[in-house]
Amino acid sequence: MDNNIDNNLNRDEQNKINLDSSKKMEQKSNLKCLKNKKTKDLIALTIIVSVLFGGLFGFIGGQVANQELLKSIKNKDIISGDEQSGAEEGSKKAPNEEASLADLKTEESAVMKVVEQSSHSVVSIIVTKDVPKLNSFFEEQFFSDPFFNPFGMPDSRQKESNEPNIEKKEIGGGTGFLVSEDGYIMTNRHVVKDSQAEYTVVMNNGDKIKADVIARDTLMDLAVLKINTDKKLVAVKLGDSDKIRVGQTVVAIGNSLGEFRNTVSKGIISGLKRDVKAGDRLTGQTEALDGVIQTDAAINLGNSGGPLFDLDGNVIGMNVAMAYGAENVGFAIPIKDAISVYQSVKEHGRIVRPFLGVRYIILNEAIAKTNNLPVDYGVLILGGGSRGELAVIPGSPANKAGLVENDIILEFDKVKLTDENNLSKLIQKKNVGDEVELKILSKGEEKKVKVTLEENKEVASE
């Protein structure tokens, strides 16, 4: 029994110890939880404060950054993505850009070389003429007009003075270029058209030399002059106008506007084989220019007759006309046509041209349909409206070959005649004495005849 009491006492004590131990553990656990709660609260508070201050400072920083960005935009251009990447790459240029710059520099150097080597062969042509003095003209009108001089008062001033009533004045100008070392110069006919005027050539170094007009071409706007001097002359280099291409760079040198000697303009060939009508705004006269070169290089009244160079320094054309009312539209005669005239003058002392001796109209589909003709190409031999405008010139090569009015020439030396292959152009490519074959449609039958071209003495030159 005592043992049972002791055991019970021990059990009670043990339970008490366990209870105390449990309370202590619970207190520790509560304390730990309290500490954890305080830590969590502190962390939450820290996060809230950080967010608040972060937002505040972020807002302030954003405003400052925006202000700086606005200032930057105001002071600088906006850079595109391509430019930005280019800026990041530094000063490197794309290969294509470097090639383009190199091409430009090469072209620029070529133009300067052409000017340097060729300017001494380009001349200014000054046109002078004896004209009445302005004051003498009005005095004559006054004293000879009975309205102003009803009493017939004598012109005492004119009697007292022995001075002539005329004076030599400069009335025009243009450009030319030396085609030989012995002084032959080529220019436009309209530059030297006045047979009563005097012509002076001004060299690149300023020397003035009297010039004689050797020939004026009545078919093309060409003329040949001659100067005599002891000084050495240098001729231009002649190119081949048959080999030029559209888009090719060209250089025009001339007496721009009749005032500025050897002015240079650059352009490209805009077109080939143009047929245009050139007119004189003062006289109203017009003429046809066939097969000319179109260029956007500046052509004006002053540099008419001047050379058109390629970048190798070869003359490939002669400046002849500009289109009024249009910018950058000028025309030049192919040098091949111009040189044939010079060579004729050099050999014969005049312009010698072959001719066939027929008057004609060029056929096309519309003309053929209207006149019920069997073909829509070739040329129809036809007289003019007046008696003097004969279809076939008596004694001409065509007359000798038996051609008559209403015959149709279909081919010239096996070349089909069309608007582009004009009979006149084909004849001018031949020489006097050349024998050519014509394909003729006469009274419904085709036949071939041989014709020997002769010199056109009436209209070749003045």
Catalytic residue among 118, 217, 221, 407: 221
Judged by phi (left if over 0) then psi (alpha if -120 to 50, else beta), residue 325 lies in left
Q: How far apart are CA 16 and CA 131, in angstroms?
A: 152
Catalytic residue among 118, 121, 124, 190: 190
448 sits in which H/E element: strand 445-452
412 exposure class (CB count in 10 Å sphere: 0-12, 13-18, 19+): buried
Is residue 396 annotated as a catalytic residue, yes or no?
A: no
How many residues appear in the chain? 462
CA dihedral 295, 298, 299, 303 (to 10 degrees): -130
Q: Which residue is associated with the tokens 């078919």? A: 219
Q: How far apart are CA 440 and CA 457, in angstroms?
A: 26
CA 230 → CA 121, 241, 425, distances in Å?
Answer: 16, 32, 39
8-state DSSP, 461: B
Is residue 304 annotated as a catalytic residue, yes or no?
A: yes
253 strand-pairing partners:
264
Structure tokens given for 257: 């506007």
Structure tokens given for 73: 């935009």
Determine the 3-state secondary structure of 414 from DSSP.
coil
Give the count of beta carbons closer than 10 Å to the beta carbon of residue 417. 22
The amino acid at residue 302 is G
Is residue 344 annotated as a catalytic residue, yes or no?
A: no
Q: Which residue is associated with the tokens 């008419």? A: 304
Q: Which residue is associated with the tokens 């490939």? A: 316
Structure tokens given for 326: 């249009």
Compute the 3-state secondary structure of the chain and give helix, strand, coil in percent, each to the nearest 5: 35, 30, 35
Q: How far apart are CA 7 and CA 59, in angstroms?
A: 77
Contact indicator for 289, 331 with CB cutoff of 8 Å: yes
Structure tokens given for 112: 């300067």
Catalytic residue among 121, 256, 304, 344: 304
The amino acid at residue 344 is S
The amino acid at residue 222 is L
Hey, which residues are catalytic here? 190, 221, 304
